[in-house]
Amino acid sequence: MNKKEEVLLKKLLSLFRVEAQEHLNAITSGLIELEKGTGEEQPRIVEAIYREAHSLKGASRSVNLTDIETVCQSLESVFAALKHKGILPSPGLLDVLHQSVDMVGRLIHEEKELTDSDRLKMRNLDQRLESAVEELENEAAEFVTPGKEPGKREQETARPFHPAYTSAETVRISVDKLDSILLQAEELLSIKLASAQHASELRTLRNTFNAWRKDLAKIKPGIRESGSKEEKVSEAVSLTSDPFIKTLESTLTELEKSAEYDHRAFGGMVDNLLDDMKKTLMFPFSSLLDLFPKFVRDLSRDVGKQVTFTVHGGDIEIDRRILEEMKDPLIHLVRNCIDHGIEYPAERERKKKPPYGTICLSIAAKDSSKIEIVVSDDGAGIDTAEIKANAIKKGILSQEEATRLNEEETLTLIFQSGITTSPIITDVSGRGLGLAIVREKVEKLGGGVRLDTKPDQGTIFTITLPLSLATFRGLLVRINDRIFVLPITNVERVLRAKREEIKTVKNRETLPVSGQVLSITRLGDVLELPPSENPADIIQVVVLRSAERRMAFLADEILNEQEVLVKTLGRQLSRVRNIAGATVLGNGKVVPFLNVSDLMKSAMKSISVPAVTATPDTKIRRNSILVVEDSITARTLLKNILNSAGYEVKTAVDGADAFAALKTGEFDLVVSDIQMPRMNGFDLTARIRGDKKLSELPVILVTALETREHRERGIEVGANAYIVKSSFDQSNLLEVIQRLI
């Protein structure tokens, strides 16, 4: 293949991946519908999936992807059989079909060569699909869909296939190209601001000139013509009526008008261009949510729960960049709803609930510039007592501090890293990172998140986000000689007050605002700037709101509100406390764009505890870990990993050997296999929990048993973490150990 052919093939593969993903999404949606659909809907759905599989097969053949073509051929055969026999697919067959679609997805997006293991999995899936076709072909004629006469072939009356769009209405263009155009359009905002600045400067210059001319005209009658000094003044005054001065004044006036006109015209064009470009990159929320029905199906089946997932408002559009950033947070929230919120079917029936739990994701426009996302479930709710207990255990709160927290304050703790209500760490959840990631992502996008929960009724997460990124309305404030910008979406109000109105309550300064006492903080103190040299008697205050929290900040001067273009600080400064980005003003000055959530956290931060310095004679004790594993290879591997990480390690060959070692030695944690002679890992964990001296010892089960029943057994006996060997990597193990010790 020559270079030109390689370039062409690369371009074709790029186009193929986009097209193939559309076919895969349609097939996946169809399979989900088949699981929920009635017999009347089945012919239409089967026909649609059959066509998508056929189209995907043809597309893969055109770019010589024979592996994908082979799987698609088998999928097509299955649906052809279902189509002609009018048979409903069994749950087992649907599982195989989902696995086959997953494999095709991997083949589409992974450019590297398949491993031997991948090829073996693919062959197994292909064989299972071929077997399914044979079984369907051999089905008795009496086995038919409800309402169909035995032996009568169902008439093919599906909805003819209609493409979602025609080539005359739309064109397919890379989002990278659109992003590039949008970035260039956004840069024009800086020129718009500069033109406004120039118009303002010309206006000021003309006003200054006019004031100077008037002042000279006022003193003209009182000036005598005699004397050298008076002569010079008289001459200066006479210049005010000189044609040159009049021409200069006229020129300044024309320049000012021209600059104002250019600013209005150019500003209007920039605004229209930005609006149109933003609309071009506004995607419906449904484009993100397509993956969720299958994600919910697979995860709920994996953990042994029954879950119905519904979406409302998927047609609402939002900036694609926000949509991409929100993918992981929404996955975390839905995963939490399934793993922590929704109860097992037996427990739901005991509570007189339907066996199927419900998770609802709804999107609604809050106003012209914001969107609200609500993720709710009808599960068990969140136990605030568990949150407090976990925070105390992690050292985040003292017992005394925990007793003073109300329910709302307690619920906010769940967004802190490391806080979890899960009884065990698994590959699904339990590390206490999910909700921390949700809040961090949402606040980075300029939004907020709040939580409501009721025992046995469910939990509601409400996220507020801007509709688009980059351009914001900002409030300019001055601290000493420095300018900062606050996002106007977080500004509740600005006000002036007398300095004596500030009162100290419980060691905190407060200010009464509209009948409510608010905590007030000097913005300069939060930003660690030197105090103002000449504090004024009349103070200028900005009341900020983030999520449900309100706080007042004192500034030296509140300047004005204007449109600003926010830029990130780059990879080198990806996370700077209190700073969300930077913007360039019309005069070319670069000023920081403040992070309101960070400002509030910094203002509320308590005095840090002084660090304890170890003396040269202090001996630092290394944590000791007991590794329990009957395989000498696995035992040696685990020991080497933990030794390299700085832990002291001892080993045992089975549960009985381990329990004897625990009675005679001192350990900080146990890492154990499950399947072992004499005493397995479950029994060892149960023995540890039943011993008064060992009951609090953390236990991690590392096993190849990747089943829901074994995970539940691990929770039942009291294991702290359950790591599956198929997804095992040393960083995962070390991270879990660090969280437990």
Paired tokens of 30: 């169809």
| SS (HEC) of 497-555 | EEHHHCEEECCEEEEEECCEEEEEEEHHHHCCCCCCCCCCCEEEEEEEEECCEEEEEEE
1 pLDDT above the threshold of 80: no
Q: How far apart are CA 584 and CA 228, in angstroms?
A: 52
Give the pLDDT score at 221: 59
Paired tokens of 283: 């995607």
Tokens 């097992």: give the residue: 344
Q: At residue 206, what is the residue type?
A: R
Q: How far apart are CA 249 and CA 546, in angstroms?
A: 50
DSSP structure class, residue 341 = I
* DSSP state string for 656-719: HHHHHHHHHS--SEEEE-SS-SSS-HHHHHHHHHHSTTTTT--EEEEES---HHHHHHHHHHT-
Give the pLDDT score at 617: 46
Q: Residue 114: helix, strand or coil by DSSP?
A: coil
Paired tokens of 555: 């500034």
| 442-471 per-position pLDDT tens digit | 877 878 888 899 988 999 999 988 887 756
373 pLDDT above the threshold of 90: yes
Q: At residue 651, what is the residue type?
A: T
Give the pLDDT score at 358: 93
Beta carbons within 8 Å of 439's beta carbon, 6+ residues apart:
415, 449
Say whether domain 472-604 belongs to CATH 1.10.600.10: no
Q: CA 84, 85, 88, 91: dihedral to nearest 10 degrees?
A: -100
Q: At residue 280, what is the residue type?
A: T
User: Do 126 and 71 meet the contact criterion of CB atoms below 8 Å apart?
Assistant: yes
Instruction: Return the higher-pLDDT residue of 672 and 281.
Output: 672
Beta carbons within 8 Å of 73's beta carbon, 6+ residues apart:
57
Least confident of 58-67, 112-121, 188-197: 112-121
140 pLDDT above the threshold of 70: no
Angle formed by the axes of helices 66-85 and 116-137, nearest 10° = 20
pLDDT confidence of 119, banded at 50, 70, 90? low
Q: How far apart are CA 575 and CA 568, in angstroms?
A: 10
Question: Per mean pLDDT, which of 191-200, 349-358, 436-445, 487-496 is the most reliable?
Answer: 349-358
Give the pLDDT score at 150: 40
37 pLDDT above the threshold of 60: yes
Residue 280, CA distances (Å) to 27, 330, 355, 387 in order: 27, 24, 43, 44
Domain residue ranges in the chain: 3-137, 175-280, 283-382+421-466, 472-604, 624-740
pLDDT confidence of 665, banded at 50, 70, 90? confident
Give the pLDDT score at 154: 38
The fourth-level CATH superfamily of domain 3-137 is HPT domain (1.20.120.160)
Instruction: Return the higher-pLDDT residue of 243 and 284.
Output: 284
376 pLDDT above the threshold of 90: yes
Q: How far apart are CA 535 and CA 523, in angstroms?
A: 14
| 638-660 per-position pLDDT tens digit | 888 888 888 899 999 988 999 99
Give the pLDDT score at 427: 63
Give the pLDDT score at 151: 39
The fourth-level CATH superfamily of domain 624-740 is Response regulator (3.40.50.2300)
626 pLDDT above the threshold of 90: yes
Q: How far apart are CA 564 and CA 485, in angstroms?
A: 9
Q: Which of 661, 665, 643, 644 is nearest to 653 (CA)?
A: 661
Give the pLDDT score at 481: 86
User: Do 638 and 734 meet the contact criterion of CB atoms below 8 Å apart?
Assistant: no
Give the pLDDT score at 147: 44
Residues of the chain with pLDDT > 70, as a percent, come to 80
Instruction: Return the higher-pLDDT residue of 450 and 134.
Output: 450
pLDDT confidence of 441, banded at 50, 70, 90? confident
Give the pLDDT score at 565: 76
Q: At residue 377, what is the residue type?
A: D
Per-residue pLDDT, averaged over 26-47, amounts to 79
Give the pLDDT score at 242: 64
Q: How far apart are CA 559 and CA 282, in angstroms?
A: 33
Residue 351, CA distances (Å) to 338, 340, 343, 360, 500 in order: 17, 16, 10, 20, 58
Mean pLDDT rounded to a whole number for the chain: 78
User: Do 590 and 485 meet the contact criterion of CB atoms below 8 Å apart?
Assistant: no
Residues of the chain with pLDDT > 90, as a percent, come to 11
| 722-739 per-position pLDDT tens digit | 887 655 566 678 878 887
621 pLDDT above the threshold of 90: no
428 pLDDT above the threshold of 80: no
Give the pLDDT score at 729: 62
Give the pLDDT score at 244: 66
Give the pLDDT score at 142: 42
Give the pLDDT score at 357: 92
Give the pLDDT score at 205: 84
Question: Per mean pLDDT, which of 106-110, 239-243, 431-435, 455-459 is the most reliable?
Answer: 455-459
| 243-280 per-position pLDDT tens digit | 767 777 788 888 888 888 888 887 788 878 877 777 77
283-382+421-466 architecture in CATH? 2-Layer Sandwich (3.30)
Q: How far apart are CA 358 and CA 342, in angstroms?
A: 8
